Structures are given as C-alpha cells and as structure tokens.
C-alpha cells in the first residue's frame, strides 16, 4: 500500500472516532433527539455505515483505542493479521492483542512501543520495522501507524492504529540486500587491485610515463576510487536497511566531539578556498566555540562516535562540494531533551521540489552542478538511517541562491544519565574482556 493511502486511512480512522464519540454522547443525552438533532444523528449513522463498509473491505488492520487504551473497534483485516476474532478483541487492552517484538524476536518495553509514544508525545508515529507475534504464535512483519485523537484541550482521548502485513515485502528486501551485499564484497576486491596498480603506475619511483599518459591514468585512478566508494555505499545502505549496521554507542559530549572533528575537516574546506567555523547557539545568536572566556553547556548523546562522524562528515563534504565561495558553518545547540547539530553552507541552495525526496536512496538533484560533481545518491539515505538508529531526526531547509542548512536532532542525556551510562559501560568492560579471552 502506498504511503499516501496509509495517511488517508489514518484520517478515516480519526473521523470514525469522532463519529463514534458523537453518537455515544448523543445516546447518553437525556431524551430522544428531535428536529435538527435527529437529522444530524441520521446523517452520522449513514456516514458510520459507509465507513464500516470501507473498513470491512480493506486489507489493512484498523484498531480504535479509547483513552484507557482499550480496543473499541477491530476490523476484519486486523483479525486476519493478528489471529484474533474481533468479538474477542473488542473491550480489552491492546497490550494483550498487539504483541510487538523487535528484530531479535524480543518483546518491546512498553515505553518503546509506537502506541505508548503516541499517547505520551501526542503525535502521529509511523514505524516500518515492527514484528508481531500472532495469537497462533507466528511471527510476522508489520508496517504500523498510530494517530492520536485530541480533544479541545489537546489531551489524548483515543488513537487509531493502522497496520499491514509486510512479511513478503521484507523477504524480498532482504534478498535484494543480500545480493547487493554479496556483489559489493565481490567487486570491491578487483576494484581495490586496479586502484593499487594505477597508484603504482603513477609513482615516479616505480615507473616513468609522459604527461599525457599521466593525465589518462589520473582520470582512471579517480574513477576507480569513485567506483570503490559506490560499492562501499551500496554495502552500507544494504546493512542499514536490514538492521546489520554495526553500532557501538557510548556517551559523547558533542561540544568536544565537534571541536575535534572541525579541526580535522578544516583542510578540506581550505583546499577549496572556503572558511569553516564551529559555533554554539541557535542561528542569529551564535558564539565562537573556540572562545575560552565563555562557559559552554555540555551536550551529551548516546551514539557510536564513528557513525556520528560519518554522518557529519558526509553533510560537510556535500556542503564543500556544492559551495563555490563563502564558508561552511557547523553549529551546536539544544534544549533539555534535544541536541541539535546543523551544517550550513553558502552554496546555490536546493529546489523546493527536490527537498522531500532528498533522503531517498539513489536520489540526486538534477541540475548542472550535480551533473558535473560525482556522487552515489546514497550518502543522505545512509545519513538518515544512521540518525534514526539513535532515535534522531535529520532534515534540510534551503532556499535557491541562499544556501542550505541540514539539521540533526538527537535525544539529549542529562549529566546524571550520562554518568550512569558511563558507569554501567565501565562495569561491563571486565566482563567483556573475560569473555573475549575465552575465544
């Protein structure tokens, strides 16, 4: 099912909640409705009937929860997917029906589920990687969306849960990922060998060639490196899609992390005649991060430093590639719950029509700049996958002729939380060392 249809069904489910609530309130009112009230009641009943026909016909499961998170509506497709009879599911808590599990077939903690988050965060959540243990003990793959219903005071009074069985789709995706992974591994070896021989041919101590031949070999060497990067990106994207991306998260203080990283990236910017700055604070009220006279807040996150370096370096490299003059700014700010990193350039900007597709796999903006600058179309896709791995969000704001700003939001740890995680990780090190010695 296309994403727009999922969104449409979410809207339909919310409408049903409203209709159901109105009918409930109407039945609870004293006396029978008359006049205009009876016309409204009849109209609502007709709309409810139409909606029920649609709900009974679609292949997506639809569950309606009340404010106590008990099931009030359970369409036939939900029964087929979960193995529950609708009459048995209605009236009980969703927790006994939707037994969601992670990729390791382990039940989620309640606070990790999309439904818990929707009720607490009061926002719609779409999760594509869920698994469900059915009533018959079969494990199936789910694509699930949860939409809250809010009253006039913005309190959650219910939620619509829409899901579909994507087990076959996941199997096909896994097969494609396995093929890409195998092919990338196999092709990287000969490409690396070609690159090595070309490097030897370009070495004056190994061989003597004229300038014309050197020009040809330089181009061949650059193309080989680009091909090697493509294979590496294909391999990384395949791992990101099927959950095989290695990650070893630790507590990171982002101020110091970005200070070290920008020092390492300065040469790349300077080689193109661009400036590079690292600033603290929101746009419009920034301070130089190198100013030692200013007391700086500590921004802790829990992530793999290598993966985080990959994300920021990728955004930085893109900014340098597409910026002909000016500077690249790396900024850091945040609040009590979020740490925000931004990478801002003074480049040509991105067309508005391209922005919604920018983080899709293989998508590249089609203009004169991208046609002359090499790229795999996978960097931003991998960036999004890594950021989502740490429950973060990445997006871009851009205006033609005014440059682009890429934002990364990551959950922020308090100083106490950071200390507790560090102590826990330190206590596990001896155990890991002992287990490693047995290998």
| 65-113 per-position pLDDT tens digit | 998 999 998 999 999 999 999 999 999 999 989 888 876 677 877 777 8
Q: What pLDDT shows up at residue 375?
A: 62
Sign (positive or negative) of CA dihedral 104, 110, 113, 115? positive
Q: What pLDDT shows up at residue 288?
A: 76
Q: Shortest CA distance to 405 belongs to which of 267, 254, 279, 232? A: 279
Convert the pLDDT of each residue in 220-237 to its tens digit: 888 887 787 777 777 777
Q: What pLDDT shows up at residue 10?
A: 46
Distances (CA, A) of 383 to 63, 83, 307, 418: 34, 38, 9, 24
Share of the chain above pLDDT 90, in %: 32
Convert the pLDDT of each residue in 407-434 to its tens digit: 999 999 999 999 999 888 887 765 544 4
Determine which of 37-51, 120-134, 420-434 has the lowest per-residue pLDDT on average: 37-51
The token pair that represents 249 in the structure block = 């998260």
The token pair that represents 421 in the structure block = 């995680």
Determine which of 14-23, 30-39, 312-321, 356-365 has the lowest per-residue pLDDT on average: 14-23
The CA R_g of the chain, rounded to the nearest whole Å, is 27
Q: Shortest CA distance to 358 belongs to which of 347, 346, 345, 349? A: 349
Whether 290 and 242 have beta carbons less than 8 Å apart is answered as no
Q: What pLDDT shows up at residue 19?
A: 47
Q: What is the pTM of this model?
A: 0.59
Reply yes or no on whether the pLDDT at 199 is more than 70.
yes
Say how far apart CA 343 and CA 381 lie, in whole Å: 16
Whether 405 and 343 have beta carbons less than 8 Å apart is answered as yes
Higher pLDDT pick, 26 / 251 = 251
Whether 424 and 306 have beta carbons less than 8 Å apart is answered as no
In 10 A of CB 303, how many CB atoms? 26
Higher pLDDT pick, 435 / 98 = 98
Whether 136 and 125 have beta carbons less than 8 Å apart is answered as no
Higher pLDDT pick, 224 / 398 = 398
β-strands 125-133, 327-334: how paired?
A: unpaired
Reply yes or no on whether the pLDDT at 186 is more than 70.
yes
Rounded to 10 degrees, what is the CA torsion of 170, 173, 175, 176? 180
Average confidence (pLDDT) over 263-275: 91
Say how far apart CA 195 and CA 213 lie, in whole Å: 16
Given pLDDT bands bounded at 50, 70 and 90, which one contains residue 48? low
Q: Is 280 helix (H, G, I), strand (E, B) or coil?
A: strand
Higher pLDDT pick, 372 / 405 = 405
Whether 435 and 397 have beta carbons less than 8 Å apart is answered as no
Average confidence (pLDDT) over 294-301: 88
Convert the pLDDT of each residue in 344-382 to its tens digit: 999 999 998 889 888 888 787 765 555 456 566 788 988
Reply yes or no on whether the pLDDT at 17 is more than 80.
no
- Mean model confidence pLDDT for the chain: 80
* Residue 326 phi, psi (nearest 5): 110, -130
The token pair that represents 67 in the structure block = 């404010």
């Amino acid at each position: 099912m296309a994403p727009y249809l999922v969104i449409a069904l979410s809207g339909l489910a919310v409408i049903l909640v409203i209709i159901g609530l109105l009918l409930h309130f109407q039945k609870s009112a004293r006396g029978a409705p008359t006049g205009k009230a009876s016309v409204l009641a009849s109209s609502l009943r007709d709309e409810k009937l139409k909606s029920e026909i649609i709900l009974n016909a679609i292949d997506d499961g639809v569950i309606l929860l009340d404010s106590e998170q008990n099931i009030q509506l359970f369409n036939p497709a939900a029964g087929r997917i979960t193995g529950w009879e609708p009459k048995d599911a209605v009236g009980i808590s969703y927790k006994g029906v939707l037994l969601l599990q992670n990729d390791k077939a382990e039940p989620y903690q309640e606070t990790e589920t999309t439904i818990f988050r929707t009720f607490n965060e009061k926002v719609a959540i779409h999760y594509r990687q869920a698994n469900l243990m059915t009533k018959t003990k079969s494990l199936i793959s789910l694509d699930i969306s949860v939409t809250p219903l809010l009253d006039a005071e913005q309190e959650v009074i219910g939620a619509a849960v829409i899901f579909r069985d994507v087990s076959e789709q996941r199997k096909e995706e896994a097969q494609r990922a396995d093929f890409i992974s195998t092919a990338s591994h196999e092709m990287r070896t000969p490409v690396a060998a070609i690159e090595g021989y070309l490097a030897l041919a370009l070495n004056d101590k190994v061989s003597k060639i004229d300038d014309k031949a050197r020009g040809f070999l330089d181009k061949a060497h650059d193309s080989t490196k680009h091909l090697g990067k493509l294979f590496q990106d294909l391999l990384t994207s395949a791992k990101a899609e099927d959950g095989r991306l290695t990650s070893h998260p630790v507590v990171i203080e982002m101020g110091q992390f970005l200070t070290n990283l920008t020092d390492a990236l300065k040469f790349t910017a300077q080689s193109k005649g661009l400036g590079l700055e690292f600033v603290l604070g929101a746009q419009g009220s920034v301070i130089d991060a190198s100013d030692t006279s200013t007391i700086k807040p500590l921004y802790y996150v829990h992530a793999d430093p290598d993966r985080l370096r990959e994300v920021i370096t990728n955004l930085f490299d893109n900014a340098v590639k597409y910026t002909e003059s000016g500077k690249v700014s790396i900024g850091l700010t945040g609040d009590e719950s979020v740490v925000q990193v931004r990478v801002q350039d003074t480049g040509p900007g991105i067309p508005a029509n391209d922005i919604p597709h920018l983080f899709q796999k293989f998508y590249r903006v089609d203009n004169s700049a991208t046609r002359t600058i090499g790229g795999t179309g996978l960097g931003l896709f991998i960036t999004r996958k890594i950021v989502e791995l740490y429950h973060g969000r990445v997006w871009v704001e851009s205006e033609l002729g005014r440059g682009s700003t890429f934002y990364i939001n990551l959950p922020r740890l308090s100083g106490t939380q950071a200390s507790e995680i560090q102590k826990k990780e330190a206590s596990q090190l001896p155990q890991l060392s002992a287990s490693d010695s047995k290998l």
